[in-house]
Chains A and B, each alone.
Chain A
Amino acid sequence: EDQVTQSPEALRLQEGESSSLNCSYTVSGLRGLFWYRQDPGKGPEFLFTLYSAGEEKEKERLKATLTKKESFLHITAPKPEDSATYLCAVQAGNTDKLIFGTGTRLQVFP
């Protein structure tokens, strides 16, 4: 069964303290791995898509990497405005269906 597991569930960081979020997955025929950011009461905001092992993508303080079994979202020198829930999802087969992990709730304190 296709499955996505994210860790940790929650993460508290001091402003400027870099860290990484993990997303491990089990899926047959991976088409893509997606990272989203979600603020309370809002829809998920698209961040990255990774398609193959070894691929990396960056956006401001965020960098996503992908291996054959997991993905990492690295946050460099985070700011309070980076506080949100970060969701990982995988897509497989010939549909657009996303299978989500339960997310990592990130809090960055000044």
Chain B
Amino acid sequence: KAGVTQTPRYLIKTRGQQVTLSCSPISGHRSVSWYQQTPGQGLQFLFEYFSETQRNKGNFPGRFSGRQFSNSRSEMNVSTLELGDSALYLCASSLDGEQYFGPGTRLTVT
């Protein structure tokens, strides 16, 4: 069974730009969650989607948004990028609560 896939794997953006990251969950998984991982803060929850509805949201500014499509694929968007947004962005999919992570997208903001 194919795992969670994320695209792109690496991204370099400039301050003020926006970015869209994509996540394809494991087949049959309807829940998708996003996390930000930085050396200083560790893994922090961004948001969770289930059946195209945002079910939970972490403590991040409104510049961070996401959505889920009818095939369970998900995207997250960050607008007006700041240097502090540089991080590994991880997507996880779940069928029954057990979350399986993708390889992540490494975002560097210069």
CB within 8 Å of B: which residues of A? 31-32, 34, 36, 41-46, 49, 87, 89, 91, 95-103
Docked Cα-Cα span, A99 to B59, in Å, equals 12
Interface size on B, residues (CB 8 A): 25
Docked Cα-Cα span, A31 to B35, in Å, equals 19
Contact of A43 among B48, B58, B98, B101 (CB under 8 A): B101
Interchain CB contact under 8 A, B31 and A96: yes
Contact of B99 among A34, A42, A103 (CB under 8 A): A34
For residue B41, which residue of chain A has the nearest CB? A102
Interchain CB contact under 8 A, A98 and B42: no
For residue A102, which residue of chain B has the nearest CB? B42
CB within 8 Å of A: which residues of B? 4, 31, 33, 35, 42-45, 48, 50, 55-56, 58, 90, 92, 94, 97-104, 106
Interchain CB contact under 8 A, A98 and B104: no
Known: A43-B101, A98-B33, A100-B44. 9 other contacts (CB 8 A): A42-B103, A49-B98, A95-B56, A96-B31, A96-B33, A96-B48, A98-B45, A99-B45, A100-B43
Given contacts A43-B90, A87-B43, contact A98 B99 (CB under 8 A): yes
For B92, what are the chain A residues with a Cβ–Cβ distance below 8 Å?
98
Would you give the shortest CB distance from A42 to chain B, in whole angstroms? 6
Interchain CB contact under 8 A, B90 and A97: no
Would you give the shortest CB distance from B7 to chain A, in whole angstroms? 13
Would you give the shortest CB distance from A92 to chain B, in whole angstroms? 11
Docked Cα-Cα span, A36 to B90, in Å, equals 14
Q: List 13 A-B contacts (CB under 8 A).
A: A43-B104, A46-B100, A49-B97, A49-B98, A89-B43, A96-B48, A96-B56, A97-B33, A98-B33, A98-B35, A98-B43, A98-B99, A103-B42
Docked Cα-Cα span, A98 to B47, in Å, equals 10
Given contacts A95-B48, A96-B31, A97-B45, contact A46 B56 (CB under 8 A): no
Would you give the shortest CB distance from A3 to chain B, in whole angstroms? 12
Interchain CB contact under 8 A, A46 and B98: yes
